[in-house]
Structure 1
Amino acid sequence: MDMTHYMELLATNQPWNLLIFMAVPVILAETIAVSELYILFTRNLKGTVRIINKFAGILAGFYFLIIFLHLFFKAVIPITMAGQWRTIIDVIAVGFYLLGVVPLLGISLLELDLIGKHKSEESKLKLHATFVAVFLVVAHIAMIFGMLSPSLLGGHSGMPGM
């Protein structure tokens, strides 16, 4: 199989893996991103859109934390121990996908006032928007590398020593 573990995960067990590992996180992240733009333009921190943004933010972070823990222990550690990474392309795809937990969990913690508690509303908006931007960047890097063929760098078998 000449694909990254990222793409293999999404292609296996159709449609469930695609829904669990891609659709739900992307729908939540895009809900956050779109509502974030509305909030930034209107500065309406009390309306329905803000409530949707807050709910999606809390849910996305903890949902992705569960995904992170599941994949870290069920995929990353076993793949690493067996030396089965499919070139650095594979490592980047999976690594950046899992890195999405940092900004998404940051959004959840911010929404629950577990971080940034003493910041002004303006500062919280900036931090929230920064987390959204960071997530969009790492998710797109994961998708781009995930769609590449590991054979572009000369192989598809395991990477001994990784």
Structure 2
Amino acid sequence: MGSTHYMGLLAANQPWNLLLFMAVPVILAETIAVSELAILFRRPVSPVVAAVNRYAGLVAGFYFLGVLVYLTKHAVVPLTSTGGWRGWADVVAVGFYLLGIVPLFGMSLLETRAVGAGWDDERRLKVHASLVGLFLVVAHIAMIAGMLDPAVAGWDPTHVMDDGSAMEGMTH
């Protein structure tokens, strides 16, 4: 059984990659999601819950921006330039994982008021909650595709050269 680069990244350098690339972003996102529910359903909002939500929303985007830059440089560019992708499931897993930057950094931009500075609290809350939902969708697509054996999705590991690149003329 083979694995996607997404799963390989999480399995390598244990426990650090799992913590840095999965645990930190997911814990921040789950903290935002749970505190967002408390904010949506409990009025008046507890200042502690509001502060936790704001801090996690601020940190998550900037943290994940670092992850995006690091993985683009050390994984996406090398895999793309050498033809090292393990089929469509591999691309979907890594691509959707990295798409998490859109909602997470969007939340950070909301928290810094770079976006929505003139909006009322209700509009900001709706956009923030929508971004939380969007992150959960892209993260789950990444996880599902990442757990798929690339061979089941049509990738043929026999057409890979020793350096991990695809053989000339092979498309998967």
Question: Which structure's residues are more often helix, by fraction?
Answer: 1
Equivalences for residues 78-93 of structure 1 within 5 A: 78-93=78-93
AA in 2 matched with 1:4: T
Partner Cα distance (1:139, 1:77) in 2:
21
* Residues in 1 aligned to 2:31 and 2:25: alpha-carbon distance in whole angstroms: 10
Rg larger for: 2
Partner of 1:106: 106
Q: Please list every run of 5 or more consecutive structure 1 residues that lacks an aligned counterpart in the other structure.
A: none
Please report the RMSD computed on the Cα atoms of aligned residues, expressed in angstroms: 1.5
Q: Which runs of 5+ in 2 are unaligned?
A: none
**1:10, 1:22 within 8 Å by CA — same for their partners in 2?**
yes
- Corresponding residue for residue 73 of structure 1: 73
TM-score of the two chains, using structure 1 as the length reference: 0.95
1:73 Cα offset (Å): 1.0
Q: Is the 8 A contact 1:44 1:50 kept in 2?
A: no
Distance 2:46 2:90 in 1: 43
Q: Per-residue displacement from partner, 1:52-109 (whole Å, max 9, x unpaired)?
A: 0000111111000000000011100000000010000000000000000110000001
Q: How many pairs does the alignment contain?
A: 162
Aligned equivalents of 1:67 and 1:48: distance in 2?
28
Name the amino acid aligned to 2:21: F
Gap change, CA 1:29 and 1:121, over 3 Å in 2 = same
Q: 1:46 Cα deviation (Å)?
A: 5.8
Q: Secondary structure at the match of 1:57?
A: helix
1:118 deviation in Å?
Answer: 1.1
Letter paired with 1:102: V
Query: What is the distance in 2 between the residues matched to 1:43 and 1:125?
Result: 13
Does the alignment pair 1:57 with 2:29?
no
Deviation at 1:42, TM superposition (A): 1.5
Q: Partners of 2:54 and 2:113 in 1: how far apart?
A: 11
Q: TM-score, normalised by structure 2?
A: 0.90
* Offset at residue 44 of structure 1 (A): 3.6
Aligned to 2:20: 20
User: Any idea what SS the aligned residue of 2:115 has?
Assistant: coil
User: What's the % identity of the aligned pairs?
Assistant: 58
